[in-house]
Amino acid sequence: MKLFTNERPDIPISNHHKEDGTQWTIKEKLLLGLSVQDYWKQFFRNPVNWLMIIICSIGIPLLLGRYIFGLGWVTHASNDYPWGLFLGFGLFGMVPLSASGFLLGTTVELFGRKDFKSIERLALLNGLLGYFFAVLFLEVDLGMWWRLPYPMVVSLGPASVLFLVAWHVATYLSVQIAEVLPAFFEWCGWLKGKRIIRKFVLGLTVAGIILSTLHQGALGALFTYAPAKVHPLWLSTNFQWIHFFCSSIFAGLSMVIIASTLIRNFMGWRCDDTFKNNLDYVTVGMAKGASFAMITYLIIKIVAVAHDQEWSYLLTGWGSYYMLELGVGVVLPMCMFAVGIRNNWLKLIRIAAFITALGIIWNRINTSLICFNWQMYQEIPHWKEVWITITLYSIYFMTYRFIVYRLPIVYGWQDGK
Amino acid sequence: MKFMEKLSRRRFLKSGLAATAAATVIKNTDSKASGNFEGYPDGMGVLVDLTRCVGCRSCEAACNKEQGLPEPEKPFNDFSVFDELHHGQKRRTDETAYTVVNRFDMPDFDHPIFKKFQCNHCNEPACLTSCFVNAYTKTPEGAVIYNADVCVGCRTCMIACPFYVPTFKYSSAFSPRIMKCIFCYDTRLKLGKAPACVEVCPQEALSFGKRSDCISMGRQRIRQNPGKYVDHIYGEHEVGGTSWMYISSVDFDKVGMDTTLPKEPILNSVKDFLAIVPMVLTIWPALFTGFHLLATLKDKVMEMEMEEKRKEKEGQA
């Protein structure tokens, strides 16, 4: 893409009109203003796409196999570990990393921090896609996936934590679609829609905070159903929801730092100057937010250990593993953030964000898989399960890139505000 | 002034009264729904006496036939299954077996101990309370039954069950479901009959009766045979009490039973979270809109000042 943008002044597309004054058609916009041949040429020139093709060429048949031969064909069909990677990574890992939407929505729209405006849309998109793919992961994992709407319409179990998760994720997904729609409306030129959404922004943002607080927390609270199965260090029935909610704050912020870093480095042609010039400033700002959330998280983690009188567990092997997780996944990046913010070392901040995101996934997989049934045996996921998880994540990556290539996420649409 | 005082006092009394009334009403409903449910009074139960079980597996066979489960690989008179280990674990229930018997070798004893295992039919079942489509029901007869027509297959019940009872029909792509013991509800319990496994047991290791009677019977056996039993009925209080209960001559943790389970129902550990839900739903909107007003106050003030200045200028002109 870089090659083309150097040769042609009219692309990347950032307004409705071509050089000669005629309008871009939707098809041309979808092809990024390239001819079909050129489009495929740039597609195959990118080595990342080859990797994606290899992953999908095995992963998609496996995925189809899951729907034809059942879950038992791709997983170990364990009755001791009913939840595997699809939920452990796909739901419990993706959802905290997608807290970005409500975080920056709140910062910009609610707290009026217009200085973060340039990153808001990316954060909203990151949130929307993360949730959407978490639901897709769920659809792979659910035994009767075709009954997804049952808890909403057919048979209601409102006293259950999962009921809250289902309703909140569903409503929040709609809220996020509404929040990202203005970018789509600008791109296809329907400004009336954008104005309609504009009127509801405050309401949508407040709804976003409520729903996020509750379902990020509810994901944690799901494990309070298993007080005798999850290792006591990873489960605090009183504080579990705060742990999950609080850690989603720095997870979401770190994910935006990661996404924006990747976009600036590999999609520089797509970013406009506002985005590029503001990026360092907003990155430092988000790192500050993340480090505040991290110290809060660390303290309530310690409070939970104290509250449940679990100090003696810290001296066991599990305790070392627990401290390793907190040390590498939280304390280390927190210190890196601190040093990075103080000295304005953007590179250090970006590496820290990457470690933070991995740390959160690690924590969620620990809670749902590794430290689950800690007194039993260790379940190692089936290779097909691992492959399908990677495949879905690759599709998530490609969808993400597809949208950032086109919609005004990291650039401003030039006509029709 | 005096009038004002009077009014405020009256108002104070009035609101105080209202608050008391509200508190009484709330307290009443509270005590009704506070989760101290100890099972239906006439709920049935089974007492399993581990000292009597000889590991003949006829209960397994009877269950298999009664519930129409697939024929197992090894026949029910094949006792080599007791030596099977999966991931270092003894046999467990799965989509082909609602109940299993396991052998536990005791170094201090001249004979092994056998333990039959199946759904314990909790008074306040974790599977039921964790289900978001209400697929489970605790019947007045004591059974915990399952409705496959509404189940979505999320398997949260399997996470929640402290006894690892519900299993999933992973082998099916088009009609998967949860498979678990239902106390022979449809075919027997509803009609007042004992479940198939109890009826077939040649050793009378399983005794069927009202749950309260099962507890008395267990106590009686423990009392009348000093030194024979451990002084504990497993299931009387575990996770809020279960319909199936056990007495044993060895500590229960030696026969693969979790003795660290809480005495209250699993639901109690979830209540902390459930309580914050209405608070967040009601407090957050006001709180955050308030934050918004505060955060944008400066802009508002500036706007007003500008407006005033503009008006002043107009006035001067």
Smallest CA–CA distance from B276 into chain A, residue:
A214
Interchain CB distance below 8 Å, A79 and B168: yes
User: Could you identify the residue written with the tokens 């999850």?
Assistant: A230
Residues of chain B contacting residue A79, judged by C-beta atoms under 8 Å apart: 92-94, 158, 164, 166-168
Cα gap B89→B112, rounded to integer Å: 17
Q: What is the pLDDT of residue A112?
A: 86
Interface of A with B in 193-252 (CB under 8 A): 202, 206, 209-210, 213-214, 217-218, 220-229, 237-238, 240-241
Comparing CB atoms, the residue among A79, A142, A166 nearest residue B164 is A79
Element (H, E) at B104: strand B100-104
Residue closest to A95 by CA, chosen among A33, A176, A150, A27: A176
Chain B interface, best mutation among A85, A210, A225, by max B CB count within 10 A: A225
Q: Print burial letters for A397-406: b (CB count within 10 Å at least 16), e (below 16).
A: beebbebbbb
A324-352 core/surface letters (b: 16 or more CB in 10 A; e: else): ebbeebbeebbebbbebbeeeebebbbbb
Over its length of 317 residues, how does chain B's per-residue pLDDT go in tens digits? 444 444 455 554 455 445 444 444 444 433 334 456 777 878 999 999 999 999 999 999 999 999 999 999 999 999 999 998 888 889 999 999 999 999 999 888 889 999 999 999 999 999 999 999 999 999 999 999 999 999 999 999 999 999 999 999 999 889 999 999 999 999 999 999 999 999 999 999 999 999 999 999 999 999 999 889 999 999 999 999 999 999 999 999 999 999 999 999 999 899 888 889 999 999 999 999 999 999 888 888 998 999 999 988 888 76
Residues of chain B in contact with residue A141, where contact means CB-CB under 8 angstroms, are: 154
What's the CATH number for A46-406? 1.20.1630.10
- The pLDDT, as a whole number, for residue B35 is 53
Following CA atoms A23, A29, A31, A36 in sequence, which dihedral angle do they give, to the nearest 10 degrees?
Answer: -20
Q: Which of A165, A237, A377 sits opposite B89 (nearest CB)?
A: A377
Could you list the mean pLDDT of each consecutive 10-residue stretch along chain A, which spans 417 residues? 74 80 83 86 90 95 93 91 93 94 90 90 94 93 90 84 88 89 88 86 89 92 93 92 94 96 92 91 95 95 92 93 95 96 95 96 94 90 94 95 92 75
Q: How far apart are CA A180 and CA A193, in angstroms?
A: 12
CA-based nearest residue in chain A for residue B277: A214
Among candidates B46, B49, B80, which has minimal Cα distance to B63?
A: B46
Which candidate, A194, A171, A167, places its Cα nearest to that of A181? A194
Closest partner residue to B295 among A111, A160, A225, by Cβ? A111
- DSSP, collapsed to helix, strand or coil, labels residue B47 as strand
Tokens for A376?
């039993």
pLDDT digits (tens, 9 = 90+) for B191-250: 999 999 999 999 999 999 999 999 999 999 999 998 899 999 999 999 999 999 999 999
What phi and psi, each to the nearest 5 degrees, are found at residue B167?
-125, 160
pLDDT of residue B1: 42
The span from the CA of B64 to the CA of B179, in Å, is 12
Q: What is the pLDDT of residue B22?
A: 46
**Closest to B212 (Cα-Cα) out of B49, B52, B50, B39:** B39
Instruction: Judge whether A375 and A346 are in contact, CB under 8 Å.
Output: no
Distance (Å, whole) CA A221 – CA B285:
22
Would you kindly state where each structural domain of chain B is located, as residue ranges?
44-265, 270-317
Q: Please count the other Cβ atoms lying within 10 Å of the Cβ belonging to residue B20.
A: 10
Between CA A151 and CA A29 the distance in angstroms is 39
DSSP assignment of A157-171 equals -TTSHHHHHHHHHHH
Tell if the CB–CB gap between B133 and A154 is shorter than 8 Å: yes
**What are the chain B neighbours of A209 within 8 Å (beta carbons)?**
284, 288
Structure tokens at A386: 């691992």
Cα distance between residue B102 and residue B85, in whole Å = 11
Q: Looking at beta carbons, which residues of chain B come within 8 Å of A157?
A: 131-135
Euclidean distance between CA atoms A133 and A399, whole angstroms: 10
SS3 B249: coil
**β-bridge mates for residue B45, sequence order:** B209
pLDDT value at residue A168: 87
Select from B162, B260, B273 the Cβ nearest to the Cβ of A161: B273
Instruction: Let me know if B298 is exposed, middle or buried by CB neighbors in 10 A (0-12, 13-18, 19+).
Output: exposed
Q: In chain B, how long is the greatest CA-to-CA distance?
A: 113
**CA-based nearest residue to A291, from A248, A336, A328:** A336
Cα–Cα dist A314/A305, whole Å: 9
Q: Where are the domains of chain A?
A: 46-406
CA Rg, chain B, in Å? 30
* Beta-bridge partners for B246: B48, B234
Q: Do β-strands B244-247 and B44-49 pair in parallel, antiparallel, or remain unpaired?
A: parallel
Residues 273-332 of chain A with CB under 8 A from chain B are none
Three-state DSSP string of A26-95: HHHHHCCCCCHHHHHHHHHHCHHHHHHHHHHHHHHHHHHHHHHHCHHHHCCCCCCCCCCHHHHCCCCCHH
pLDDT of residue B34: 44
- With contact defined as beta carbons under 8 Å apart, do B163 and B98 qualify? no
CB A225 to CB B292 under 8 A?
A: no
CATH C-level class of B44-265: alpha beta
